[in-house]
Amino acid sequence: MTELLTPRLLLRPFHPDDFEAHARICGDAEVMKYIRAGALSREDSWWQLARYLGHWQLRGYGCWAVVERSSSALIGHLGFFHAEGGHGLEFGWALAREAWGRGYALEGTLAAKEHGFSVLGFTKLLCLIRPENERSLRLAERLGAEAAGETIDEKGERLLVRSLRPIPGS
């Protein structure tokens, strides 16, 4: 499984000892507000971690643990999802509240996007974002995503679709 380094972050597959930090991040209702419409229980956090690891096994890519290199602290997750019955190849992210406003989301997603297009050969990534999630909409825009319509999630809630494509000649 692939690891990526940025100046301040290590993107790596999750380890079993990441569970406590992962459960704390996913148990924060403010972090999960636009992802799952609320905090995850410890049990749901465990199943999510298992899902992330399983995706790597099934697809050869997936969601990375985001680790702050200076402290070795797990501060979130980001990466790719391509679930059966889903919307296509999705690109998503979530960081712990203490990591907000420090440029980590942009730094990590730029590295992942580059890896997806240049190494994995992806031709399109989709970001599915709730309309009220202004932070993620701004990040998608900074990544170069363009509006690509709307869809409805499994709970019947509206999602904006943003599409990322490789820059020609890059």
The pLDDT tens digits of the residues spanning 59-85 come to 999 999 999 999 999 999 999 999 887
What is the longest distance spanned by two Cα atoms in the chain?
45
Tokens of 109: 């997603």
User: Measured between alpha carbons, how far is 113 from 30 in angstroms, rounded to an integer?
Assistant: 25
- Among 3.40.630.30, 2.40.30.10, 1.10.4010.10, 3.40.50.300, name the CATH number for the domain at 4-164: 3.40.630.30
User: Measured between alpha carbons, how far is 110 from 170 in angstroms, rounded to an integer?
Assistant: 14
Q: Three-state DSSP class for 164?
A: strand
**Would you kindly state where each structural domain of the chain is located, as residue ranges?**
4-164
User: Measured between alpha carbons, how far is 144 from 158 in angstroms, rounded to an integer?
Assistant: 22
Check residue 168 and give its pLDDT: 63
Does position 157 have pLDDT exceeding 60, yes or no? yes
**pLDDT tens-digit profile of 10-51?**
999 999 999 999 999 999 999 998 887 689 999 999 999 999
